[in-house]
Amino acid sequence: MSLYKRGRIYWCKWTIRKTEIRETTGTADHQAAQEYHDRRRAEIWREQKLGDVRIASWEEAALQWVEEHAIHKASYETDRVRLIWLNERLADKPITHITTDALLAIRKELMQTRAASTANRFLAIVSAVLNYAHAKGLLAGVPKIPYLPENNDRFLWISRAQADRFTAALPDHLSAMTRLALCTGLRRANVTGLMWENIDIERKIAWIWPDEAKAGKAIPVPLNTDAIAVLKERSEQKKKLKKITIADARYVFTFRGKKIERTTTKAWYTAATAAGIDPAFTFHGLRHTWASWHVMSGTPLTVLKELGGWASLDMVMKYAHLAPGYVANYAENITSAAQARGCNSGHSAEDVSEDYRQDGGKLGWLMGLEPTTTGITILQRKKKAA
């Protein structure tokens, strides 16, 4: 086994069963690299002489996990993009060296550009790979995963003015994808994987198959005027290409003849900064924005649930506060104008009943229900028999 430098970092090199293996020590300090070298030499000796289990690298364990589990998940495309990011930082590490401290460093880097919930999704993939390695006997134990606390009640969304500035600052392909997401509420994987064969422009509809949907059921996607404009724009751009690749012919969104995999790139964050948008805003924030715009425009939550392909109404309730409904009228009860009328309430008993008949239905309408009965039944004492 030998120790050598590649750039500033020390690397180890050795041969196992006539196969040359190279492994980074991850440090530019010679003493620390030597310690790593000696420890790995002892591990390899025990493997060859005593039959100890070979210590797998992160890349090996991750590849096996993908082939056995991840490739069958509905979120495979999203997981794959996250794995690419993680592999850039963990590829040459033995899985035994992926400690809680190492994951804290990754978490710190994630927090610089991503929300807590997104950072946790990356850490969840690390957890899945390590647990898989443990189940296979490649790892004695799984370190504690340093998940971040999440505030599930909050989400990032942008205004229409911000959206206009944002799309104008993005490259053409990302701008088109962003505009379509704002029109349809489609998730990132459904936008990047959208195929021409799943679109009917004449009928103004697209569809997501059950195996492509997070909830596992098909989603009909009505296409409004803005969405149709984006699709026609993409179609015209494809016709102008000198060379049409297989990806160009199949997918709506491509870049340099290839299917787009990553969306939140450097160009994304640069455009977000230029538009005055929170750096933690991700592509999924476009779905939050679409839903927020719908609710503020009066779309019932039950209708929004079907449009967005959510599994239950509870998942849509996070947007309900953006449309306060009939209760907004009663906010005027304690204004100075109401007090000037010399009453504690801006409504008489008769007014309340009338207001509820006219506006109370809005709450039920917001939920997609029929307006409730507002009449009052007065119970009278029964007369005793003579």
What type of residue sits at position 69?
A: H
Quote the pLDDT of residue 375: 46
Candidate list 114, 165, 187, 294, residue with the active-site label: 187
Q: Which of 58, 65, 157, 310 is catalytic?
A: 310
Cβ atoms within 10 Å of 133's Cβ, excluding its own: 23
Are the C-beta atoms of residues 265 and 171 closer than 8 Å to each other?
no
Catalytic choice (39, 80, 214, 238): 214
pLDDT of residue 280: 83
Q: For the chain, report the end-to-end CA distance as a whole number of angstroms.
A: 112
Distant-in-sequence contacts of 242-250, Cβ < 8 A, 24+ apart = 249/196, 250/195, 250/196, 250/197
Per DSSP, the three-state class of 386 is: coil
The structural domains of the chain, with segments of one domain joined by +, span 2-50, 58-135, 160-310, 324-367
Among candidate residues 157, 319, 326, 365, the one labeled active-site is 319
173 part of the active site: no
Q: Which among 35, 32, 25 has a CA at the least distance from the CA of 5?
A: 25
Q: What is the pLDDT, as a whole number, of residue 270? A: 93
How many Å apart are CA 292 and CA 319, to the nearest integer? 6
Class level of CATH domain 160-310? mainly alpha
DSSP labels, 291-351: HHHHHHTT--HHHHHHHHT-SSGGGTGGGGGG--GGGGGGGGGGSHHHHHTT-SSSS-HHH
Active-site residue, from 37, 40, 82, 284: 284
Give the angle 251-81-7 at the CA atoms, nearest 5°. 125
Residue 335 corresponds to which amino acid? Answer: T
CB distance 148 to 120 below 8 Å: yes
Report CA 315 to chain centroid distance, whole Å: 14
Q: What is the pLDDT of residue 315?
A: 86
- 319 catalytic per annotation: yes
CA angle 108, 191, 86 (to 5 degrees): 25
Catalytic choice (37, 40, 287, 362): 287
Rounded Cα–Cα distance for residues 381 and 311 (Å): 49
Is 234 a catalytic site residue? no
- Distance, in Å, from the CA atom of 184 to the CA atom of 176, rounded to the nearest integer, reads 12
Q: What is the pLDDT along the chain (386 residues), one digit of tens a residue?
A: 578 888 888 888 877 666 677 777 778 888 888 888 887 777 777 666 665 556 788 988 888 888 888 777 767 777 888 899 999 999 878 898 899 999 999 999 998 888 788 899 999 999 999 999 888 878 888 999 999 987 666 788 999 999 999 999 999 999 999 999 999 999 998 999 999 999 999 999 999 988 788 777 888 999 999 999 999 999 999 888 888 899 999 999 999 999 998 888 889 999 999 999 988 888 999 999 999 999 988 898 899 999 998 888 888 888 888 876 656 667 777 777 666 766 554 444 444 444 444 444 444 444 444 444 444 445 555 555 54
Strand order in the sheet with 2-6: 2-6, 9-16, 19-24
φ and ψ at residue 375, rounded to 5 degrees: -70, 160
Active site residue 290: no
Q: How open is the CA angle 235-304-288, to the nearest 5 degrees?
A: 70
CA 51 to chain centre: 44
Of 75, 80, 102, 77, residue with least CA distance to 90: 102
* pLDDT for the residue numbered 384: 55
In three-state secondary structure terms, 195 is: strand
Determine the Cα–Cα distance for residues 275 and 159; give it in Å rounded to an integer: 11
287 is catalytic: yes
3-state secondary structure of 121: helix
Find where tokens 């190492």 sit.
102
Q: Which of helix, strand or coil describes residue 352? A: helix
243 flagged as catalytic: no
User: What does the pLDDT read at residue 152?
Assistant: 63
